[in-house]
Structure 1
Amino acid sequence: MTFIPPLDAMFLASETREHPMHVGGLHIFRLPEGAPDDYVQTLHQRLLACTELAPMYRRKPARPGPVLGALGWTDDEDVDLEYHVRLSALPRPGRVRELLALVSRLHGSLLDRHRPLWEFHLIEGLDHNRFAVYVKVHHALTDGVNAVRNTLRMLSPAPTGELRALWSPGPRPTLPLDTPAGATAPLARAGALARNLAGVLPTVAGVAIKGIRNPDAALPFTAPKTVLNRPLTGARRFAAQSWSIGRIKLVAKRYDVTLNDVVLAMCSGALREHLIAEGDLPAKSLVAAVPVALPRSDGDGNAVTMVLCRLASDLADPVERLARIRASMVAAKETMHGRTPLQLSMIGMLTSIGPSGVNSIPGFSATAPPPYNVVVSNVPGPRDRLFWQDAELEGWYPVSMPIEGQSLNITVLSYGDNLEFGLIGCRRNVAHLQRLLGHLEDSLAALEAGEPAA
């Protein structure tokens, strides 16, 4: 049995029917020229013959229960690929609307803890000569960056005709290039750990002090309650759309901010319009949790922390809103500057990950303010156009997860010349998720039409 690290274990221990703890991706491919009618069915059969699995795709909880199951992994030596690799079809001609509805249903069901915690769905019948792949993997096994790296193993920058399965073994992970020489020696590890631990308390104290003194900084449990922060049900609703990176970069350059600042401003403007329509816009600014990737030494599990950002949703002017978001992210980055991965993890435990765990205690979220209102994540992806065998990958949309007290998650993935937005929400609490896509476009257009401050 392999011990499960604490952060990964949290995703297993906190999972219930109302809180599925898996993440995924929706990939849309264009069929190659002259592809036969049974192309996807044949592809399914060929995938079932890929019986060599990477270790992550054999892992299952040593015990299936939510608490005991979070203690250790065991390997399944007889993985049933026909269970994990599934073929579905949309009524022809299947529209993107029907595809998103299918993904919404699939994403709302729990993974079977008696089996390795992943599913791979081939979906045929999509219009305009396309098919789709929807994948979901338990968050205890992977984070967003790791999921992208794993997916890249099955793709190539040009048509090859070679079939690579997602679960097939890939190149052995290597240590990061910036790993200090000798850091793998036991004494070096012990010394580094001692220095890290010595810096934890000053780090935590510094975050709290800066959060109190700096009006642009955000602290947990200072966010207002909204319709986005009601208890979850298990059903999900998914929406997705692409925006040109070029458009967003022009806005970033115009206002001298980062691309991620513009993404946060788009989300802030969209949420503001959504809450106005719901009659629920609070006087205080919404607060977003923004995941930040940490250096990693292997390809499995989670290496991520989170910082908090004020979204300035209380401001009507989009340019002023962007400026306040920029200031809040600068405050968060100053808190992180010069910290070790362990200290950065402690920042996340203090500001967002730990409060999220507390918020999942039954009855707590009904009386306390939310630790934050929404998660907005920006995951780096490949800039080159990619292929699977000879089918071109047209779109790659992240499918993340809402958590208790936060009914909406917005995750963005860069692919080619686009930013691919994936919105996943509680079906009851965010009833008009598709409209948020229109609000995102309106928010970007308002920034394009605005004028930078003198």
Structure 2
Amino acid sequence: MTVIPPMDAMFLATETREHPMHVGGLHIFRLPDDAPADHVQQLYRQLLECTELAPMYRRKPAWPGPVGALRWVDDDAIDLEYHVRHSALPRPGRVRELLALVSRLHGSLLDRHRPLWEFHLIEGLQDNRFAVYAKVHHALTDGVNAVRNTMRMLSAEPTGELRALWSPSPRPALPLDPPAVAPAAPWLRAGALAKNVAGLVPTLAGVAVKGLRHPDGALPFDAPRTVLNRPLTGARRFAAQSWSIDRIKGVAERFDATLNDVVLAMCSGALREYLSNGSRLPAKSLVAAVPVALPRTDGDGNAVTMVLCRLATDVADPVERLRRIQASMRVAKDTMYGRSPLQLSAIGALTSIGPSGLSAVPGLGAAVPPPYNVVISNVPGPRERLYWRDAGLQGWYPVSMPIEGQSLNITVLSYGDSLEFGLIGCRRNVAHLQRLLGNLEENLAALEAAG
């Protein structure tokens, strides 16, 4: 039995049919040139033989009473054929058909009477390719941990060894974060905790003062109301595309910005164009919630907070938009600098995570402005090209989740020499989601031309 931490329990408590609380990934593989016609079918049968599961993939929530799930318990009768599914795309098997399938799969709830994950093996993709779509409940993992778990089944070179996503790992995942510091003695930990708690009030007061005084700072419930901030429906639409890291890095170097600044500027310009169609662009700048990874104390669950950034969608010039975004992120970074993980979590609770929960209260969302307009997340991934047994991994696209009042989520994952953009939206509220991909390219090109 494992007690569910409060943040992880929140993802279970707030889930409804309209608000599935799982995250996922879409992986596109190229088959070996000499692969037989039934290669994917053989792969599916072999996966069903991987019956040893890592702890996270055995867990299901326990329901001891009316207060909801308080603990994880292990499922002793896992039906692997339920969790691992084999599908085929309709002809002609384009990426369009693949994205349509992922959109449907991502809109369905996970069964809480079973461990909260699914793994879909999808054949029939053009150009000698197949795909994997996997989803796991957000109560079990965050984006960084999901990347780690996926990397355990991959390798840097082709190999005959088949590793399943859910298999226990005989080796640690490749590091994505700096190595953890050795734990301090108990009395030192107690003293540090007391210092952290004592610093919460001045920390939160500092956040409020910066948000009020600095023109580029952002506070919750100061975002304009847009078509992106309507109540969610249960259906989803997914779009994905890759961009060269070198292109984005070139813009970042030219304007003394970070890669994340340029990603935010691409998204800002794309949203400005998208909302301008039909005169839906508000005069006031949109505000984005930007997740930030925290130091991790264990391998599962969530270790993340969020900060707010003004996207300068009220600015027409792409370079000036980038400058304003840089300034807003500097305010957020200054607020976070030197803070402990506890204090950083409190900042997220004040500025974004807490207000998101409040906006889900019936009636409150219509009575107050949205806490922010959109979530834009940048997840670190592997910089080398990888393989699953003998199939090369060509694309790795994050599939996140919209939340109540924010109908669009943009998540970016670095893989090899590319940044992989995954856009997930409410099917009713974010019509023509695919157009945003074209808007992203246009705004990157505009920044390149301006340099």
TM bucket, shorter chain? over 0.9
Q: CA deviation at 1:127?
A: 0.3
- Are 2:305 and 1:305 equivalent residues in the alignment? yes
- What's the CA shift for 1:92? 3.3
Find the counterpart in structure 2 of residue 118 from structure 1.
Answer: 117
Shift of 1:181: 4.5
SS at match of 2:262: helix
The yes-or-no answer on 1:318 pairing with 2:318 is yes
Relative to 1, partners in 2 of residues 1:53 and 1:64: Cα closer, same or farther, differing over 3 Å?
Answer: farther
CA distances 1:358-405 after superposition (whole Å, capped 9, x unpaired): 011011111110000000000000000000000000000000000000
Q: CA offset at residue 64 of structure 1? A: 9.1
Once superposed, which parts of structure 1, at least 4 consecutive aligned residues long, lie more than 6 Å away?
none
Who is 1:437 aligned against? 437
Residue matched to 2:408: 408
1:69 shift after superposition:
3.8
Q: 1:82 to 1:342 in 2, by over 3 A?
A: same
Equivalent residue number for residue 14 of structure 1: 14
Is 2:426 the partner of 1:426?
yes
The one-character-per-residue Cα deviations of 1:245-301 (angstroms, maximum 9, x if unpaired) are: 000000001111011000000000000001001321001000000000000021100
Provide the residue aligned with 2:75 in structure 1: 76
Q: Indicate the residue corresponding to 1:360 in structure 2.
A: 360
2:240/2:397 contact within 8 Å kept: yes
SS at match of 1:433: coil
Aligned partner letter, 2:167: S
CA distance in 1, matches of 2:278, 2:13: 34
Q: Report the identity percentage.
A: 79
Paired position in structure 1 for 2:275: 275
Out of 208-217 and 104-113, give the one that drifted further.
208-217
| Alignment-derived partner of residue 196 in structure 2 | 196
Q: In the TM superposition, what is the alpha-carbon distance from 1:182 to its structure 2 partner?
A: 4.4
Q: Unaligned 5+ residue runs, structure 1? A: none
Mapped contact 2:62–2:72 kept (Cα < 8 A): yes
- 8 Å Cα contact 2:224-2:282 kept in structure 1: yes
Deviation at 1:196, TM superposition (A): 1.1
Separation of aligned partners in 1, 2:38 and 2:64 = 38
Partners of 2:88 and 2:64 lie apart in 1 by: 31
Is there any run of 5+ residues in structure 2 with no aligned partner, and where?
none
For 1:186, the equivalent position in structure 2 comes to: 186
Aligned to 1:217: 217
Which residue is equivalent to 2:5? 5
Amino acid aligned to 1:217: G
Partner Cα distance (2:32, 2:360) in 1:
47
What count of residue pairs does the alignment treat as equivalent?
449
2:446 corresponds in structure 1 to 446
Q: Paired residue for 2:337?
A: 337
Give, in angstroms, the shift of residue 33 of structure 1.
1.4
Q: Secondary structure at the match of 1:26?
A: strand
Corresponding letter in the other structure for 2:102: V
Deviation per CA, 1:229-259: give whole Å up to 9, x if none. Answer: 0000000000000000000000001111011
Measure how far apart 1:68 and its partner are. Answer: 3.9
**2: CA distance, partners of 1:225 / 1:282:** 8
Tell me the distance in 2 between the aligned counterparts of 1:17 and 1:180: 41
CA contact (8 A) 1:61 1:69 kept: no
RMSD: 1.5
Match of 2:163? 164
Residue in structure 1 matched with residue 135 of structure 2 by the alignment? 136
Q: Note if contact 1:182-1:188 (Cα within 8 Å) is conserved in structure 2.
A: no
Helix, strand or coil at the partner of 1:103: helix
- In structure 2, the residue corresponding to 1:70 is in which secondary structure? coil
Deviation at 1:111, TM superposition (A): 0.2
Instruction: Give the TM-score, by structure 2 length.
Output: 0.97
The residue aligned with 2:371 is: 371
SS at match of 1:377: strand
What SS class does the counterpart of residue 425 from structure 2 fall into?
A: strand
For residues 355 and 3 of structure 1, the distance between their equivalents in structure 2, rounded to whole angstroms, comes to: 25
